[in-house]
Structure 1
Amino acid sequence: MAPNNGDDQAAAEAAKAAQEEAARKSTTKGALFKAFAKRSAKSEDRAAPVRAGQLLKRVGGSIKDAAKAVGRSPRTFKRWLDGQATPKADSNEALNRANREALVPEGRRKRILASADDRYLVEDEESGQMRFQKPEGVTGKGGFVLTAVIRISKDERERSVNLGPYLSSDHMQELMDAFMAGNERAAVDVLEEGLENWVPEAELLSTSSLSFSPVEWESEDE
């Protein structure tokens, strides 16, 4: 029987798409950790007693408070801390999430939310696509900067794009929620929406870094 070149090509394309998706999610997770938590994502690979000890320190040394942050009993948390028990999958994720929550202080959360402001993003009536339309005399500074390998048509290279004007504070809340939940796909969705508002053909391949500072719009008349 002759080989089915069409099936082979489809399988190769599916494999490539799966690899690109894995790269998008893993690199976005790493960038979020560095930007939001100031830590490496590899910290979540450490043994449960280490991560339990880190959380205990971050909540001020109270086993009761640490257990409450994870949603488990103090006795169970103490057993993880002492290495007498290993958290099951759902408890392990709860421990990781509690550490993520503890690693992002309130002041940093406010700066993250303030790093996007889409007041000058308008929908084109004919195409339905979003476009940036800043009035003359208005200047801006700050924002949410994505440095990533981005493909536009056949041009695939690393670019730094300020997505601050192309996203809202609600988007940043979604991004922060995705980080806290360990939901890399939801985080990628936010970045991809910002890129689509910037250039509809832009495709995120891998995330190198993220940075943020409050967006500030200023008018020459002020």
Structure 2
Amino acid sequence: MTFYFGDLLDYAPVLAAALWTSASITLVAMAAGSTLGVALYLGKAARVPVVSHLCRAYIEVFRNTPLLVQLYLIYFGLPEAGINLNPLWAGIVALTLNNAAYTAEIYRAGFESVPEGLREAGHALGMTRTHVFRHILLVPATRNVFPALTNQFILLFLASSIASIIGLPELMNQILNINNRTYLTFEVLAVGGLLYFLTSGLLVLASRASEAYFFRWGARKHA
């Protein structure tokens, strides 16, 4: 049995555009999901029972139900309530909401790793609650969980392939389309897997470079 990859060269622009779509929705979902994740953690840790229980319930529901079910509910279920999202926005919303639940737990570990004495010292120096949260809690917490956030970023990128189910022309969707046209199943899937692998590796390198730059006051050494 021989394999031939030459026929796939004509599809390079299609794959490049699809890869860009996958990377773009991942970046948006990671940024929005991380912001929402911090808000969820703060809500969960709040002393207002209603807010705390709602945030806790959100986290548990989204962490313990399949992403595919969440995507179907958003894309096929919301239209029954009069909310129609195209595949791009449905994918972004599903990935963002799912990612927020996981990043909330990641940040919980990060905030709990910051010594309580630092917060007390900030208040003693006359810092406002906003400045204490931003400079004494958020930044060190983010630094402490940055490797975990990087891992979540990679998982989110790989999970973006699920958006192919609703017709979003991201990488997996185009891989399947090309396979249907060429019937070069092994070659197409091998190239697709390689693109996912190489992109994930680049994201790891970019994350390490970002950590070394933004947190050079306490840079970690990676094995």
Q: TM-score, normalised by structure 1?
A: 0.29
Q: Which has the higher strand share?
A: 1
Alignment TM-score, normalising by the size of structure 2: 0.29
**Structure 1 or 2: larger helix share?**
2
